[in-house]
């Protein structure tokens, strides 16, 4: 996520970092060069004047704008749903932590948590980091090591779906609590509901990651945008003359930009500048939960990479 003040005035036009311009500069240049060639030849190709008016662009432009708009809404909905799931993760892990400290091992003295309580809360933190690495396809080994008991590290390493494995061991832990009467059945069911909620978050994130917007849709919008921008100079050159490349540049910037932005928001869990700051959120959760355990050695917020929070 890009963390910077909105530039004002003229600087707005010269902000490059965080702009979508980086991803579309190649095709924007090609389009403008093409427009320049069309302008210089007055729209003539191999001695044949290409007869074109702005009318077709008006007809197709409305459709294109509406469909780009739809694709953008769908991508943004995925982005925002991803954010909601991670917001829910913040909420659920805090609730789970509060419930573990309130309902499990209630014989312990409140200010200092019992070893079992600490172990369970650590597992919730481990789930958060494992989910982050699972979505970004990176290795969670280093982050998980200090949070899991030694004998479980290797088994977690071997698991196909690491966050799910951690969730199951939380379930097993809960089972042991029940068997050893360290919690009341009623509270066990209440804790189990929050485990369900974690499973829901995991499943929701996997759904967003694994199912993109249907390929045929993206392809259709893509192709229409390209054809539109490549043909546009022929339609404008007769009335706009030497201004054609400039105007084509602006219009292409809008359409290519929105197309590229749709691509960027469609998969919100990566490490690109506009993606969600999963690392920062995971560290916030770790900080909140360690604070609730009474620890004082809290993790630092992650450094900015460029202007971006990862």
Assigned token pair, 99? 């419930």
Residue 229 contacts a copy of itself per CB under 8 A: no
Does position 114 interact with a copy of itself (CB under 8 A)? The reply is: no
Task: Match 């290409």 to its residue by tokens.
Answer: 50
Annotate 231-292 with DSSP letters as a single string.
HHHHHHHHHHGGGHHHHHHHHHHHHHHHHHHHHHHHSTTSSSTTS--HHHHHHHHHHHHHHH
User: Is 36 near a copy of itself (CB under 8 A)?
Assistant: no
- Confirm or reject binding of residue 186 to a copy of itself (CB under 8 A): yes
- Contacts of 63-71 with C-beta under 8 Å, sequence gap 24+, read 63/224, 64/221, 64/224, 64/225, 64/228, 64/255, 67/220, 67/221, 67/224, 68/221, 68/225, 68/255, 68/258, 68/259, 68/262, 71/213, 71/217, 71/218, 71/221, 71/259, 71/262
Shortest spacing between CB 219 and a copy of itself, in angstroms: 6
CB atoms within 10 A of CB 182: 19
- State the minimum distance, in angstroms, from the CB of residue 273 to a copy of itself: 7
Q: Under a CB-based contact definition with an 8 Å cutoff, are residues 267 and 74 in contact? A: no
Contact present, 144 and 126 (Cβ < 8 Å): yes
Near a copy of itself by CB under 8 A, which window of 32-40, 129-137, 148-156, 262-270?
A: 262-270
We find the least distance from the C-beta atom of residue 56 to a copy of itself, in angstroms, to be 5
112 binds a copy of itself (CB under 8 A): no
* Residue numbers 43-72 binding a copy of itself by CB under 8 A: 50-70, 72
Using the rule CB under 8 A, which residue among 126, 166, 276, 278 binds a copy of itself?
A: 276
Phi, psi (rounded to 5 degrees) for 240: -100, -20
Q: Which of 126, 253, 279, 282 binds a copy of itself (CB under 8 A)?
A: 253
Minimal distance in Å, beta carbon 300 to a copy of itself? 12
Interacting residue with a copy of itself among 157, 247, 267, 304 (CB under 8 A):
247
x/- letters, 156..175, toward a copy of itself (CB under 8 A): ---xxx--x--xx--xx-xx
User: Cα 167–160–132 angle (5° rounding)?
Assistant: 60
Q: How many residues touch a copy of itself (CB under 8 A)?
A: 120
- For position 304 contacting a copy of itself by CB under 8 A, the verdict is no
How far, in Å, CA of 121 to CA of 301, rounded?
20
Q: Which residue has the tokens 């530039």?
A: 7
Residue choice 202, 278, 282, 283 for contact with a copy of itself (CB under 8 A): 202
If one asks whether residue 126 binds a copy of itself (CB under 8 A), the answer comes out as: no
Q: Which stretch binds a copy of itself (CB under 8 A): 31-39, 79-87, 139-147, 149-157?
A: 79-87
Instruction: Please tell me whether residue 187 binds a copy of itself under the rule CB under 8 A.
Output: yes
Which of these ranges, 31-39, 119-127, 136-144, 153-161, lies near a copy of itself under the rule CB under 8 A?
Answer: 153-161
Is residue 140 within 8 Å of 159, Cβ to Cβ? no
Q: Which two tokens stand for residue 28?
A: 């924007």
Of 32 and 264, nearer to a copy of itself (C-beta) is 264
């Amino acid at each position: 996520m890009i963390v910077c003040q909105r530039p004002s005035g003229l600087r707005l036009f010269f902000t490059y970092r965080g702009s979508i311009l980086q991803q579309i500069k190649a095709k924007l240049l090609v389009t403008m060069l093409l427009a320049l060639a069309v302008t210089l030849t007055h729209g003539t190709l191999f001695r044949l004047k290409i007869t074109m008016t702005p009318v077709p662009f008006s007809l197709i432009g409305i459709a294109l704008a509406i469909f780009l708009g739809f694709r953008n809404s769908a991508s943004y909905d995925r982005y925002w749903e991803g954010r909601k799931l991670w917001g829910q993760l913040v909420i659920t892990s805090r609730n789970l932590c509060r419930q573990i400290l309130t309902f499990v091992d209630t014989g312990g003295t409140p200010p200092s948590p019992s070893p079992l309580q600490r172990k369970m809360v650590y597992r919730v933190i481990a789930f958060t980091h494992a989910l982050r690495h699972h979505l970004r396809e990176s290795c969670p080994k280093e982050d998980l090591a200090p949070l899991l008991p030694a004998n479980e590290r290797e088994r977690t390493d071997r698991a196909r779906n690491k966050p799910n494995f951690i969730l199951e061991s939380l379930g097993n832990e809960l089972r042991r609590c029940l068997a050893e009467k360290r919690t009341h059945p009623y509270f066990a069911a209440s804790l189990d509901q929050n485990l369900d909620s974690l499973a829901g978050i995991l499943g929701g994130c996997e759904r967003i990651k694994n199912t993109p917007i249907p390929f045929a849709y993206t392809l259709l919008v893509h192709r229409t945008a390209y054809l539109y921008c490549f043909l546009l100079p022929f339609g404008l050159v007769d009335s706009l003359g030497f201004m054609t490349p400039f105007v084509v540049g602006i219009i292409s910037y809008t359409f290519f930009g929105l197309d590229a932005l749709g691509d960027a928001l469609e998969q919100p869990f990566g490490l690109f500048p506009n993606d969600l700051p999963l690392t920062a959120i995971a560290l916030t959760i770790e900080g909140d939960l360690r604070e609730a355990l009474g620890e004082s050695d809290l993790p630092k917020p992650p450094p900015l990479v460029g202007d971006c929070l990862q």
